[in-house]
A and B are shown apart, each in its own frame.
Chain A
Amino acid sequence: MGVLKIVVTGAFNSGKSTFIKTLSEVVPIETEAKITTYGRRLKPTTTVALDYGRIRVADDLVVHLFGTPGQRRFSFMWRVLARGMHGYILLVDSADPSSVDEARYVYAFFRRNWNLPHIVGANKQDLPSALPPEHVRALLSVPPDTPVVPLVATDPHSVKSALLTLVDHMIEWYAKKSEQSRHDAVLSSQRLL
């Protein structure tokens, strides 16, 4: 069974929940999880404290989407959720300059801990006060080879486009890694000979 894991992260109110919710309008996403005896008295299933979605691509391939809690005090969850991920998208509230510091903190946390392919979604581009993606890139010091895409997390086409950009970027990244890995293996075998 192939499993891909993608994390949607960002500061509080950056649109992580909306992103996953909107994506479910494009792609069938399973979000319900069984809960324990206590909770079952209230209702049989519930969406859990973290955003989660599972996309069944085929019988032998599933994609897991995890949305992280936005606040620093839940940063212990960021580590838990990000463990084993293949890539991530950082969402930024482009219309709220006061959130940039927090976004920078989250981004620094992720980059420090995981050298993995990612993109930045400059969200809320439908709002008049939204900063353009290139401004967001400069504010967060995003590397030139990392895509920063305009995003409206309430728009299914925009969300799908952002996810495709992430997947494209991940494909490029993993192709390089795969090639490098093969190259290293060849060198290693030559040394043995």
Chain B
Amino acid sequence: MAVCEIDLDETLKSLEKELVDVLRFSGHIYFLSLFDDRGNLVVSTSTNSHRLMDLVQKLVQEHDTIRYVEIEDSSHKVYALRVEGNFVVCALTSNEARSGLVKLLLHRLSLRIKPILTELKDVIAQQEVTQYSEVLRDLLRFREFLRGVGDGSP
């Protein structure tokens, strides 16, 4: 299992100029939605450092996409969760750093959504004009294709 290496200082600095929507509650609670590299949703509510362990346990219990968890306490007080799919969720203990982390993660999330939507925009838009008979013809071909795969057929 490889680990994504993130240069936090550089990334956070580069994000300072970007407007990122951060949902913030009660001054200390941040709401995050994360995805691992396989597209599996990993939901996380980041609050404060002493609740981080609760979060870790909750993640492991509730999400079978997380195979194991490793906590590292570096000089920068970075906690890292290793998630299946090589995605790493980091949490920093200070409020400032945590705020930066939220921006980082939301930014990464938006980066993951936007390219595919852009790439597939034509695909998403073009279908509405397709005629029933054409769809029917394609479905019949798809069915024949499906029947022929996975059963040892050529």
> Could you tell me how many residues of chain A have their Cβ less than 8 Å away from some Cβ of chain B?
58
Q: Which one, B124, B131, B140, contacts A83 given CB within 8 A? A: B124
Alpha-carbon gap, A154 to B6, bound state (A): 33
Please count the residue pairs between chain A and chain B whose beta carbons lie under 8 angstroms apart in the complex.
148
**Contact among B43, B113, B150 for A27, CB-based, below 8 A:** B150
Would you give the shortest CB distance from A117 to chain B, in whole angstroms?
Answer: 10
Query: Which residues of B have CB within 8 Å of A5?
Result: 123-124, 127
Binds B, one of A30-38, A101-109, A131-139: A30-38
Q: Given contacts A3-B127, A50-B39, A86-B135, is CB(A168)–CB(B117) below 8 Å? A: no
Main secondary structure of the interface of A (DSSP, over half): mixed
What is the bound-complex CA distance between A153 and B123, given in angstroms?
26
CA distance A27 to B144 in the complex (A): 13
* Residue from the list B109, B133, B149, B150 in contact with A49, Cβ < 8 A: B109
Determine if B116 and A52 form an interchain contact, defined as CB atoms under 8 angstroms apart. yes
A152 to B75, alpha carbons, bound, how many Å?
46
Q: Which of A12, A73, A171 contacts B143 (CB 8 A)?
A: A171
Instruction: List residues of A whose CB falls within 8 A of some B CB.
Output: 2-5, 12, 17, 21, 25-27, 33-36, 38-39, 42-43, 46-52, 55, 57-58, 61, 63-64, 67, 69-71, 73-74, 77, 80-81, 83-86, 156-157, 160, 163-164, 167-168, 170-171, 174-175, 177-178, 181
Cross-chain pairs A/B with CB under 8 angstroms, 5 sampled:
A4-B138, A17-B40, A34-B119, A61-B141, A174-B133
